[in-house]
């Protein structure tokens, strides 16, 4: 069985990544973490909820997390999605089907 990565190491890495994305700024929030409830990530998500420098938003679905993340990114905010790979596949398929349907409607 693979070893788990300790939650503090994940959080420190996220903070460093967000600081770098902000050009070294320590302005809070450093960045946004978007998640969908997940039993595999419960330890790190619980630890993230206690972090004052990061904003954690729990979304209902992966589609919602992608939409919120896109809005934050377009607004210039650093953002990380913490979702399972299967949820990513499902949300990308949903986004692709919406784009395809919209492009058919506009022709």
As a residue count, the chain comes to 107
Specify the residue for token string 């919209």.
Answer: 102
| Cβ neighbour number for residue 1 with a 10 Å cutoff | 3
Across the range 82-91, mean pLDDT stands at: 76
Q: How confident is the model at residue 106 (pLDDT cuts 50, 70, 90)?
A: very low
What confidence tens digit (pLDDT) does each residue in 25-77 have? 888 899 999 999 888 888 999 999 999 999 999 999 888 888 899 899 999 99
Give every CB contact of residue 92 below 8 A, 6+ residues apart in sequence: 66
What does the H/E/C string look like for 67-101? HHHHHHHHCCCCEEEECCHHHHHHHHHHHHHHHHH
pTM: 0.78
Q: With 60 as the cut, is the pLDDT of residue 105 above it?
A: no
């Amino acid at each position: 069985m693979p070893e788990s990565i300790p939650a503090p190491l994940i959080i420190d890495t996220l903070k460093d990544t967000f600081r770098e994305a902000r050009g070294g700024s320590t302005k809070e929030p450093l960045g946004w973490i978007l998640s969908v409830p997940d039993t595999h990530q419960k330890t790190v998500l619980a630890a993230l909820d206690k972090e004052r420098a990061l904003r954690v938003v729990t979304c209902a679905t992966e589609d919602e997390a992608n939409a919120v993340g896109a809005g934050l990114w377009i607004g210039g905010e650093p953002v990380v999605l913490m979702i399972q790979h299967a949820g990513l596949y499902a949300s990308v398929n949903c986004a692709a089907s919406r784009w395809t349907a919209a492009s058919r409607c506009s022709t």
